[in-house]
Amino acid sequence: MGKNFWNNLPKPIVLLAPMDGYTDGAFRQICKEVNPAIVVVTEFVSADGITHGATKLRSKLAFDPAEQPVIAQIFGKDPATFAAATRYCEKQGFSGIDLNMGCPSKKVVKSEHGIALRRNLDRAFKLIEAVATSTNLPVSVKTRLGWSDASDLLEFGRGAQNAGANLLTIHGRTYTVPYSCPADFEPIYELKRQVSIPVIANGGIGDLADGLRKLGNLDGFMIGRAAFGNPWVFDLSGAPGRFADKVPLIKRHVEYLTKRKGERVAMFEIRKHLLAYVRGIPGASSYRIALARVESVAAVKKILDKIVGQLELDESSKSLV
């Protein structure tokens, strides 16, 4: 498919947003099971780390073929390192490379990576060019509206396209506004009128139906936080009404994570997901402490079954009243 990958995908393109610490392979696989048509992106990985062979970082780039198409997201600031990291990702079999130009974390910004590249457009465009010319994979860029406003978004978008970007994802917030501010998609619709490559919107999209409502003239949308604890956001009919019908997918999540990372690490990492899965489930509150401490796959399954049993009991006692 090469550089035309994004153009050739059916529209609208729906993506799971990269979220460091959350969207690892097991979670990506779960989201793909809910909707096989979505495109998934790895958590961001340092280009320097990949090039220096950091084993832990490289393990973040492991993926299961069932996740395809899966895009590797890298961050950094050195064009030669980006190109080398890209070649590594190409060998791993990824379907594309995404360049992170939006991360606001203090450490990342201090190193002049992530959103800091929006204050150094020359460097940003050199990075895109270095990656685009070093691979046959499609190259995308994920960024925000801008640093403190969207005044240079069009300049950035046109420059990125000229440097070889094949798709742009724009998070409809600037660096300086908190997540509590609503995302603004107007500048993204305007950007799409000014470039010929596909443009994806991101920020505050609640589910598939919400994304379709906000799509406007864009080529697709990306959902992040709303998918946490609720991968059914990618199903047009929404999450199953009964917790019992969610449990098989939750159990598979636990199994996939265990298969990839081993039981000890998996149990540590699954706890936050389990707490999110039971959020708002009446009757689950008494199991929250146990879920936050689980140490084995068998224990997780037992607690999930107990919650289902408890909910069924509550239902049948209600019908007796």
Pairing of strands 39-41, 45-46: unpaired
**Which one among 43, 129, 207, 269 touches ligand FMN, defined by CB under 6 A?**
43
**Which one among 32, 118, 171, 253 touches ligand FMN, defined by CB under 6 A?**
171
Cβ-defined contacts of 115-119 (< 8 Å, 24+): 115/143, 115/144, 115/147, 115/175, 116/77, 117/77, 117/143, 118/143, 118/144, 118/146, 118/147, 118/152, 118/156, 118/175, 119/147
Cα(43)–Cα(262) distance, rounded to whole angstroms?
19
> Which of the ranges 133-141, 153-161, 196-204, 257-265 carries the binding residues for ligand FMN, by CB under 6 A?
196-204
Smaller CB separation from ligand FMN, 219 or 303:
219
Cα(120)–Cα(113) distance, rounded to whole angstroms?
10
**Which one among 203, 211, 220, 283 touches ligand FMN, defined by CB under 6 A?**
203
By CB under 6 A, what part of segment 68-87 binds ligand FMN?
73
By CB under 6 A, what part of segment 233-272 binds ligand FMN?
none
Contact between 46 and ligand FMN by CB under 6 A: the answer reads no
Instruction: Name 99's Cβ contacts closer than 8 Å, sequence gap at least 6.
Output: 73, 74, 75, 82, 127, 128, 131, 139, 140, 141, 142
Shortest distance, position 14 Cβ to ligand FMN, whole Å: 12
Question: Is 89 annotated in the active site?
Answer: no
Contact between 202 and ligand FMN by CB under 6 A: the answer reads yes
**Which one among 164, 211, 224, 231 touches ligand FMN, defined by CB under 6 A?**
224
Token code pair at residue 126:
């050199």
- The residues annotated as belonging to the active site are 103
Instruction: Enumerate binding residues for ligand FMN (CB under 6 A).
Output: 17-22, 43-44, 73, 100, 102-103, 142, 171, 202-205, 223-226
